[in-house]
Structure 1
């Protein structure tokens, strides 16, 4: 999803990956290195004792491990119903070394590729009707999950949404969401929802808005997403969810290049949303 980090970070993470292989009895497989933002995570295919699998390695400065993102995948495995298609967490291991905390997460291998290697899609894609049906079903099954996890904090919404959109949010209707619904976290043509770090409660419409905003470079796809989620997108019911998703992208634009490229389109969408409150 992201380019390789600075050499010292890359070397540190590769060393940690080797340690994870030893702890979990893994052998590296072909397929390269899949990096997270700034080298915080490193993922790739492996061979586990029971066969092919996927290893995800996450790191934080020593003493900073824990919290929502760190525990998200483990808590999803325990709380999210099997009807939501996702990689099953097989095993994990924690350790610390040289001022860093690490967690190795071993998942079942999902053979269907992400719809797009980048969160922001840049070319049209054809997905079968069954894929969209399965996505609706997955989000519907996730919505009622009872959790204390928070994907988007109310304090953030009250403070940052007016700052970045000029719109003051009204009453918030909460639901349980994936929290990072974009094209690199959805596989096709068979649907799997990847990356369960950030799931939790958020305003209604938040997941749908994220998928829509990450589609804006492909107008026909964005239109399709809008039609699929017409029950929330562009409606008063989903307004706060859309504003929160817009705010997060606009705030990230100064440090993430693909969000910088998307920012003008998101601002135009905010202008359209302002008509709902005027």
Structure 2
């Protein structure tokens, strides 16, 4: 059966919310429901948050789609605690639904995934972000990151980069745990916290930093700050590859001509290509 493309911002989700209510024993506050392309979230009557995700069976892989629950084993990272979860297979489609109940966030998300206006972020915020990313990278897991639900392999890195930047040696040497969807919609301020852990796992060094840089390119000062804060990652060889990996997604065949990030992504990528070719 072919998996139907679905945008949960447009699909009815009442039956899914009812299933979660029965399974987790919570009532969902309808006024707080947040709908995204492949997930729905809402506050509960227990002063917790429930996030519900739809994922095709072909995107489950060996990890089972339990990213938020498995991230509870990570330490030293500012994130909401995981409390409970439930998963079930859709009766009509080759799809798995999963709902995870977590603590409420300590503050609001910074913005949309890609920002066009510089957010106010304190020095304490940047310190907390760095501490969390450093702590994450120092840990160990058998999980493999799944950015955009695709398993992050050497082959995927090579294909993505070479779709825009041919002739680059794309061999990755340093793999470490990453959030894999680290953008401005998944971090909070004024208190730093990172959430939505469904895709975390092993990834080339610098993926999270490169993702945040790519999400900041419409605000040059913010993109520069991200590069300064995560300099060690982004100036490593694998970090440069991840810069190209993210830039290729911005500049590739599905690029939006109106994307305000295009010029900055191309300029940085061209410099990075030269650095990699120079050895």
1:102-181 map, 5 Å: 102-116=97-111, 118-151=112-145, 152-166=152-166, 167-181=168-182
Q: Deviations over 1:81-134 (max 9, x none)?
A: 1x2111111111122343243211111111400111x11011011211111111
Shift of 1:259: 9.4
Matched-pair contact (CA < 8 Å) for 1:162–1:168: no
Partner of 2:29: 29
Q: Structure 1 residue 270 and structure 2 residue 269: aligned? A: yes
Partner of 2:206: 205
Aligned match for 1:95, one of 74, 81, 88: 88
Shift of 1:230: 2.0
Rounded Cα–Cα distance in structure 1 between residues aligned with 2:241 and 2:221? 24
Compute the TM-score of the two structures, normalised by the length of structure 2.
0.84
- Quick one: structure 1 residues 155 and 136, their matched pair in 2 at CA, closer, same or farther if it must change by over 3 Å? same
Compute the TM-score of the two structures, normalised by the length of structure 1.
0.84
Partner of 1:44: 42
Rounded Cα–Cα distance in structure 2 between residues aligned with 1:252 and 1:177? 26
- Quick one: structure 1 residues 102 and 129, their matched pair in 2 at CA, closer, same or farther if it must change by over 3 Å? same
Q: Structure 1 residue 74 and structure 2 residue 73: aligned? A: no
Q: Structure 1 residue 5 and structure 2 residue 46: aligned? A: no
Matched-pair contact (CA < 8 Å) for 1:253–1:263: no
Shift of 1:264: 4.3
Q: Structure 1 residue 54 and structure 2 residue 66: aligned? A: no
Matched-pair contact (CA < 8 Å) for 1:232–1:238: yes
- Quick one: structure 1 residues 25 and 216, their matched pair in 2 at CA, closer, same or farther if it must change by over 3 Å? same
In the TM superposition, structure 1's runs of 4+ consecutive aligned residues that sit over 6 Å from their partners are none
Which structure 1 segments of 5+ residues have no match? Answer: none
Rounded Cα–Cα distance in structure 1 between residues aligned with 2:257 and 2:124? 29
Rounded Cα–Cα distance in structure 1 between residues aligned with 2:59 and 2:268? 36
Shift of 1:52: 0.3
Q: Deviations over 1:178-231 (max 9, x none)?
A: 111111111011011111111111122221111111111111111111211222
Rounded Cα–Cα distance in structure 2 between residues aligned with 1:31 and 1:221? 33
Q: Deviations over 1:143-169 (max 9, x none)?
A: 121111122311112232122222332
Q: Aligned residue pairs: how many?
A: 261
- Quick one: structure 1 residues 43 and 248, their matched pair in 2 at CA, closer, same or farther if it must change by over 3 Å? same
Which structure 2 segments of 5+ residues have no match? Answer: 1-6, 146-151
**What RMSD in Å do the two structures reach over aligned CA positions?**
2.5
Partner of 1:188: 189
Matched-pair contact (CA < 8 Å) for 1:53–1:107: yes
Shift of 1:246: 2.3
Rounded Cα–Cα distance in structure 1 between residues aligned with 2:34 and 2:165? 33
